[in-house]
Amino acid sequence: MDLAAILQGIGADMAAAPDRGRVADYIPELAQVDPARFGIAVALADGRMLTAGDATVPFSIQSISKVFTLAIALGRLGDQLWARVGREPSGHAFNSILQLEYEKGIPRNPFINAGAIVVTDAILAGHAPREVLGELLTFIRTAAGDDDIHINQRVARSETETGHRNMALAHFLRAHGNLLNPPEKTLGTYFHQCAVDMTCTQLARAGRFLMAAPGMPHLVSPSRVRRINALMMTCGHYDASGDFAYRVGLPGKSGVGGGILAVAPGRASIAVWSPGLNDRGNSHLGSLAMERLARATGWSVF
C-alpha cells in the first residue's frame, strides 16, 4: 500500500472540491478562517509521519480538546466521573439543551458541550483555571512531543463574548447541582481549552497515545485508552456518530474549527482539517477524507 500516494490523491481532490461546507460563524473569530484550507497528517505506529495539503497550518481544535480533558479527568477521578456524566450517544446537536432537562442535569456523554463543561468543572475542583489550562497544555505537548502548542487568546475572547448557549448550559447544570464552580469560572476555562491552536501534524502526534501501540507515548492505561476510543466511536461526532462509524469505522472526534482526530488502533493516529462544516457541525471535507482514507487502507475496526 502506497500511503503517501493515497494522501496526495486525497489532498489534491479535497483542495479542488467545489462543495466545502460552511465555516462556523457563531464564534466570530472562526468565521475569518479561509474555507479553501485542507490538511491531513497520519502518524504511523512505526514512527513515520505522512502529510498532504495544509498539514502545518495551525487551526482551532475546539471540541477535539474534549478528548484530552476527558483523559485528564479519568486520571484524576477515575470512575467517579460517571456519577456526573453519562456514556451514551445523545442523538442531539452538540450544543443542545433539551435532554439536559429531561435527564435532570446529567449530560449524556463527555463530548456534547454540556458533558464537556461538567468534565472541565470536575478537573477544576480546588484549582485555578490557569493551573488546569497549564495541565492541559502539558498533557497535549507531552502527547505531541512538541512544546510549540498554545491557546489562541483571540478565539477564547471571541467565544467568551458570544457563548450564550454554553452559558445557558452551565447555569442549567448549576441549577441541577452538577456544576461545582461558578459558571463563569468553569466556562472561562472551557472556552480557553477549546481555543488551543494545533496543526494537523501536531494533532496526529498528540493522538498517538490512543493507538496503544508499542513505542507510542503512554499517558493513560491501556484499559482507559480502550474506553476513550469507545466513547469517540459512539459519541465523538454527536448526532452524526453513527454515520461516521458507518462511513469511516474509526473512533473519531470532531471540532467546530473543522478538525477531526481519528484513531486506527495499533496502526495510526490521523488528523484532518478543513474549516467548512456539514449540517451537523462536523468538517464536511474532513469526514469525506477520513472515509476515503479508511476505505483505501482497510483500517476500519469492523
Burial of 128 (0-12, 13-18, 19+ CB in 10 A): exposed
With CB under 6 A as the contact rule, the residue among 38, 59, 68, 94 that binds ligand DON is 94
Known binding residue 166? Answer is yes
* Residue whose C-alpha is closest to residue 65's, from 13, 7, 111: 111
Would you count residue 282 as binding ligand DON (CB under 6 A)?
yes
Query: CA distances (Å), 32 to each of 25, 29, 166, 254, in order?
Result: 8, 6, 21, 19
Catalytic annotation present for 238: yes
What long-range pairs does 2-8 form, CB within 8 A, spacing at least 24?
Answer: 3/42, 3/44, 3/50, 3/297, 4/50, 6/292, 6/293, 6/296, 6/297, 7/40, 7/42, 7/50, 7/51, 7/52, 7/293, 8/52
Instruction: Write down how long the chain is.
Output: 302
**For residue 22, what are the β-bridge partners?**
277
Q: Which listed residue (190, 196, 272, 283) is catalytic?
A: 190
- Cell, residue 208: 498517538
Q: Mask: binding to ligand DON, 235-274, rule CB under 6 A, as x and -?
A: -------------------xxx------------------
With CB under 6 A as the contact rule, the residue among 57, 77, 86, 95 that binds ligand DON is 95
Would you count residue 162 as binding ligand DON (CB under 6 A)?
no
Question: With contacts defined by CB under 6 A, how many residues of the chain interact with ligand DON?
Answer: 13
Would you count residue 187 as binding ligand DON (CB under 6 A)?
no
Q: Which listed residue (23, 60, 63, 65) is catalytic?
A: 63
Known binding residue 238? Answer is yes
Catalytic annotation present for 256: yes
* Residue whose C-alpha is closest to residue 114's, from 83, 140, 90: 90
Q: Are strands 259-264 and 252-254 parallel, antiparallel or unpaired?
A: antiparallel
Would you count residue 159 as binding ligand DON (CB under 6 A)?
yes
Would you count residue 166 as binding ligand DON (CB under 6 A)?
yes
Smaller CB separation from ligand DON, 160 or 178: 160
Interface residues with ligand DON (CB under 6 A) are: 62-63, 94-95, 113, 159, 166, 194, 254-256, 281-282
Q: What residue numbers does the annotated binding site for substrate cover?
A: 63, 113, 159, 166, 190, 238, 256
Q: What residue numbers does the annotated binding site cover?
A: 63, 113, 159, 166, 190, 238, 256
What are the residue numbers of the active site? 63, 66, 190, 238, 256
